[in-house]
């Protein structure tokens, strides 16, 4: 059965689980490290939770159905997912990556993967042609769209045509739009990454990550890596994410609605110089985002007239916490320069536009009038 997206948020494509587990509607938490074997050479399907656990498997099935993949794997964080993914590569391999990626991803690439002789070119995949960067050693193109925090949009299908021609992988970090609004595998990507901490969990209470793949070979390789390095998500955290996912659709819709209202209000404020939200028709990524996604999400970045204004807003917001992370029901404001992107060298940061006048909002589900009133008083404070 192929259910529609809001139904899949609850059940995946499998409604038989409520007929198992004594009819439990909420999937049970299998809080066990190990499983007894019925006899020598036989297994219940589960041996040891590092390798697999029923609660984790249930979550993986739901996420796989949301991304329309072949298989999904759940990790103890988004970074654990990306770390496992990078074990697919060998010393000498080359990867082309976006230059405006999540700061932690760039840190992993530059501090750990480069030490292991994997090399990178960081380019603006929303504007530059990737093909000239492909060499015989190139194994993958790694992108985010829209990016963090500048909301640059890359055409996934266009890059997928190139990766297919060259027989290399297209990897897409889909955290910002969530599987509710965008499904890169259906556009030709091979691997999708999520920080499950963000929209998927949705409540700012659990750290998790995912890889979703489009074929059996990648699935097998990544299960082997995960079981070997031991970074799978713990059963209780799997249950929290299963619970969070049930409301993914209604959260995404409400958060997006609030984001539109805030973006339009910011545009009218005299101290706002720029609003970067892909849902605004004059945003350079608007048309591509509209073509490849069913929504624009609830992340928006704006530029104010001076660093003093930026600091005043951060000091004066009363309702909106000044905190890292994103995607949850609570609206959060961040200062990318000193928070998420503090490890990125200044020249590189400024090249992507991340200056001391840039603020990022992850818009939540509050009453939008309260959010706008809070921002308004913070500008004026
Ligand atoms: C947060 C984030 C990550 C890392 O995920 P964690 O769950 O914090 O480890 C990766 N990519 C993007 C786009 C993110 O926002």
Give the mean model confidence (pLDDT) for residues 90-109.
95
* Among 15-24, 62-71, 371-380, the least confident range: 15-24
- State how far the Cα of 330 lies from the Cα of 328, in Å rounded to an integer: 5
Task: Give how far Cα 202 sits from Cα of 92, 118, 132, 196, Å.
Answer: 38, 33, 39, 8
What domains appear along the chain, each with residue ranges and CATH number? Answer: 5-245 (3.40.640.10), 248-380 (3.90.1150.10)
- State how far the Cα of 5 lies from the Cα of 225, in Å rounded to an integer: 30
pLDDT at res. 188: 98
- State how far the Cα of 74 lies from the Cα of 65, in Å rounded to an integer: 14
Indicate whether residue 78 lines ligand 1 (CB < 6 A). yes
- The residue ranges of DSSP E strands in 87-190, in sequence order, are 94-98, 119-123, 138-144, 169-173
Report pLDDT digits (tens) over 109-139.
999 999 999 999 999 999 999 999 999 999 9
Give the mean model confidence (pLDDT) for residues 211-222.
98
Residue of 174, 195, 339, 341 to test ligand 1 pocket, by largest number of atoms within 8 Å of CB: 195
Mean per-residue pLDDT over the chain, rounded: 95
Q: Quick check: 69 and 219 in contact, CB under 8 A? A: no
Indicate whether residue 341 lines ligand 1 (CB < 6 A). no
pLDDT at res. 159: 98
CA of 105 to the centre of ligand 1 (A): 8
Among 35, 11, 12, 13, CA closest to 25: 11
CA of 35 to the centre of ligand 1 (A): 32
pLDDT-above-70 percentage for the chain: 99
Indicate whether residue 69 lines ligand 1 (CB < 6 A). no
On the question of pLDDT at 16 being above 90, the answer is no
CA of 198 to the centre of ligand 1 (A): 7
pLDDT at res. 18: 65
- State how far the Cα of 260 lies from the Cα of 360, in Å rounded to an integer: 14
Active site residues: 50, 102, 173, 198
- Does the predicted model carry a pTM greater than 0.85? yes
Among 79, 164, 147, 72, CA closest to 113: 79
Residue of 103, 175, 210 to test ligand 1 pocket, by largest number of atoms within 8 Å of CB: 175
Confidence of residue 303 (pLDDT cuts 50, 70, 90): very high
Higher pLDDT, 347 or 206: 206
CA-105 nearest atom, ligand 1: 10
Query: Which residue minimizes the CA distance to atom 5 of ligand 1?
Result: 78
pLDDT at res. 381: 75
Report pLDDT digits (tens) over 230-277.
999 999 999 999 999 999 999 999 999 999 999 999 999 999 999 999
Confidence of residue 17 (pLDDT cuts 50, 70, 90): low
CA of 193 to the centre of ligand 1 (A): 9
- 21 burial type by CB count under 10 A (0-12 exposed, 13-18 middle, 19+ buried): middle
Give the mean model confidence (pLDDT) for residues 340-345.
72
Query: Which residue minimizes the CA distance to atom 8 of ligand 1?
Result: 78
């Amino acid at each position: 059965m192929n259910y529609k997206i809001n139904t899949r948020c609850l059940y995946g494509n499998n409604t038989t689980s409520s007929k198992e587990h004594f009819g439990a509607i909420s999937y049970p938490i299998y809080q066990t490290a190990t499983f007894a074997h019925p006899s020598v050479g036989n297994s219940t399907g589960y041996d040891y939770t590092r390798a697999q656990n029923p609660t984790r498997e249930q979550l993986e099935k739901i996420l796989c159905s949301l991304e329309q993949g072949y298989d999904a794997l759940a990790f103890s964080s988004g970074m654990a997912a990306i770390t496992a993914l990078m074990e697919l590569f060998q010393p000498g391999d080359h990867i082309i990556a976006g230059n405006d990626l999540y700061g932690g991803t760039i840190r992993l690439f530059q501090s750990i993967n480069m030490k292991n002789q994997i090399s990178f070119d960081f380019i603006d995949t929303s504007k530059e042609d990737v093909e000239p960067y492909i060499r015989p050693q190139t194994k993958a193109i790694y992108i985010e769209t829209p990016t963090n925090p500048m909301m640059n949009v890359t055409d996934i299908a266009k890059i997928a045509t190139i990766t297919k021609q060259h027989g290399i992988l297209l990897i897409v970090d889909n955290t910002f739009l969530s599987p509710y609004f965008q499904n890169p595998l259906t556009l030709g990507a091979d691997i999708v990454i999520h920080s499950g901490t963000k929209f998927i969990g949705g409540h700012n209470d659990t750290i998790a990550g995912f890889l979703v793949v489009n074929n059996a070979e990648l699935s097998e390789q990544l299960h082997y890596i995960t079981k070997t390095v031991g970074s799978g998500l713990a059963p209780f955290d799997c249950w929290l994410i299963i619970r969070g996912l049930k409301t993914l659709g209604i959260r995404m819709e409400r958060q997006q609605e609030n984001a539109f209202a805030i973006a339009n209000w910011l545009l009218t404020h005299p101290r706002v110089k720029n609003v970067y939200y892909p849902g605004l028709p004059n945003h350079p990524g608007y048309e591509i985002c509209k073509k490849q996604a069913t929504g624009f999400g609830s992340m928006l970045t704006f530029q104010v007239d001076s660093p003093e204004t930026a600091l005043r807003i951060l000091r004066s917001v009363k309702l909106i916490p000044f905190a890292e992370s994103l995607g949850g029901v609570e609206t959060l404001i961040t200062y990318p320069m000193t928070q998420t992107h503090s490890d990125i060298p200044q020249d590189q940061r400024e090249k992507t536009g991340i200056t001391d006048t840039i603020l990022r909002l992850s818009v939540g589900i509050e009453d939008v009038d309260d959010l706008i009133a809070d921002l308004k008083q913070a500008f004026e404070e």
